[in-house]
Chains A and B, each alone.
Chain A
Amino acid sequence: MSVFQILAVLALTMLATATLRGAARGVIRKRMAVVWMLIWIGAAGAAIWPRGTAVVARAVGIGRGVDLVMYCSVFVMFIGFFYIYTRFRHLDHALTVLVRQLAIEHPVSRRGETSAALPLDEPSAALPRGEASAPPPTASRP
Chain B
Amino acid sequence: MRPFVAPAFFWQAAPSVDTPAENPGAAELAPAAPLAPASSPSSLALSVRSDLFIVIAAYNEARAIANVVSELLPHYPNVVVVDDGSADDTARCAAGTGAIVLKHMLNRGQGAALQTGISYALKHGAEYVVTFDADGQHSPEDLPALLAPIVAGEVDICLGSRFLGHSTSMPTTRRVMLKGAVIFTRITSGLRLTDAHNGLRAFSRRAALAIDIRLDRMAHASELIDQVRSSGLPYREIPVHIRYTDYSLAKGQRSTAALRVALDYLIGRLLR
Q: A-side interface residues toward B, CB under 8 Å?
A: 86, 89, 92-93, 95-96, 99-100, 102-104, 107-116, 120, 123, 125-126
Give 10 A-B contacts (CB < 8 Å), ordered by A residue.
Answer: A92-B216, A93-B216, A103-B102, A103-B104, A107-B100, A108-B101, A109-B100, A111-B78, A111-B99, A120-B91
Nearest 3 CB-CB pairings of A with B: A109-B95, A116-B95, A108-B101
Contact B98 A111 (CB under 8 A): yes
Max chain A CB contacts within 10 Å: which of B77, B78, B96, B101? B101
User: Which residues from B are CB-within-8-Å of A126?
Assistant: 103, 105
Q: How many A-B residue pairs have CB under 8 A?
A: 82
Grouping DSSP codes into helix (H, G, I), strand (E, B) and loop, the B interface class, with mixed when no group exceeds half, is: mixed
Q: Closest chain B residue to A104 by CB distance?
A: B120
User: Which residues from B are CB-within-8-Å of A89?
Assistant: 271
Interface string of B81-102 (1 = CB under 8 A from A): 0110100010110111111111
Contact A104 B106 (CB under 8 A): no
How far, in Å, is B106 (CB) from chain A's closest CB? 6
How far, in Å, is A94 (CB) from chain B's closest CB? 11
Contact B102 A104 (CB under 8 A): yes
How far, in Å, is B108 (CB) from chain A's closest CB? 5
Contact A103 B103 (CB under 8 A): yes
**What separation, in Å, do the CA atoms of A100 and B111 have in the docked complex?**
12
Chain B interface residue count, Cβ-Cβ cutoff 8 angstroms = 31
Contact B103 A120 (CB under 8 A): yes
User: Which residues from A are CB-within-8-Å of B116?
Assistant: 99-100, 103-104
User: Which residues from B are CB-within-8-Å of A123?
Assistant: 105
How far, in Å, is A102 (CB) from chain B's closest CB? 6
**What separation, in Å, do the CA atoms of A58 and B89 have in the docked complex?**
66
Given contacts A104-B116, A114-B95, A120-B103, 16 further A-B contacts (CB under 8 A): A89-B271, A96-B108, A96-B216, A100-B116, A103-B103, A103-B104, A109-B95, A110-B100, A111-B98, A112-B77, A114-B96, A114-B97, A115-B96, A116-B92, A123-B105, A125-B103
Contact B103 A111 (CB under 8 A): no
User: Which residues from B are CB-within-8-Å of A114?
Assistant: 95-98
User: Which residues from A are CB-within-8-Å of B91?
Assistant: 108, 116, 120
The listed residue (B77, B85, B115) touching A111 by CB distance below 8 A is B77
Q: Closest chain B residue to A108 by CB distance?
A: B101
